[in-house]
């Protein structure tokens, strides 16, 4: 049996999730809690299947292949795998201009 990967959340990804939950909680605290648990559970699945997400298409088009994503509709959980660890880097609403957000955050 393989050793599980560890999943770490970058500060900006934690902020993304917090802002999503706070926004939803204004209308429905119960729904916000459900969304929180769904996103965290999706990200936690990386512990056993770190390569399961697809390469982020908008970055792939730019020749950048390091970043993958999992979908918890309508949110995209962007992460990177390195040294037996998964790093959650962003949680983005897919209805936004994802390419601009990712290029600004991940390409420096």
Q: Where are the domains of the chain?
A: 6-106
pLDDT score of 108: 58
The DSSP bridge partners found for residue 7 are: 86
Per-residue pLDDT, 2: 63
> What is the fold of 6-106?
YaeB-like fold (3.30.2310)
Question: For residue 74, with 0-12 CB atoms within 10 Å meaning exposed, 13-18 middle and 19 or more buried, which class applies?
Answer: exposed
Residue 4's CB: how many other CB atoms inside 10 A? 13
Select from 53, 40, 50 the least CA-distant residue to 13.
40
**Per-residue pLDDT tens digits for 31-79:** 999 999 999 999 999 998 888 899 999 889 889 899 999 999 999 999 9
């Amino acid at each position: 049996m393989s050793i599980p990967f560890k999943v770490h959340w970058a500060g900006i990804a934690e902020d993304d999730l917090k802002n999503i939950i706070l926004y939803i909680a204004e209308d429905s605290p119960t729904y916000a809690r459900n969304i929180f648990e769904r996103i965290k559970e999706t990200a936690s699945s990386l512990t056993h299947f770190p390569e399961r997400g697809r390469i982020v298409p908008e970055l792939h088009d730019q020749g950048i292949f390091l970043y993958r994503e999992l979908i918890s509709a309508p949110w995209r959980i962007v992460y990177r795998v390195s040294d037996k660890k998964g790093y959650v880097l962003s949680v983005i609403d897919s209805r936004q201009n994802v390419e601009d957000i990712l290029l600004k955050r991940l390409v420096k």
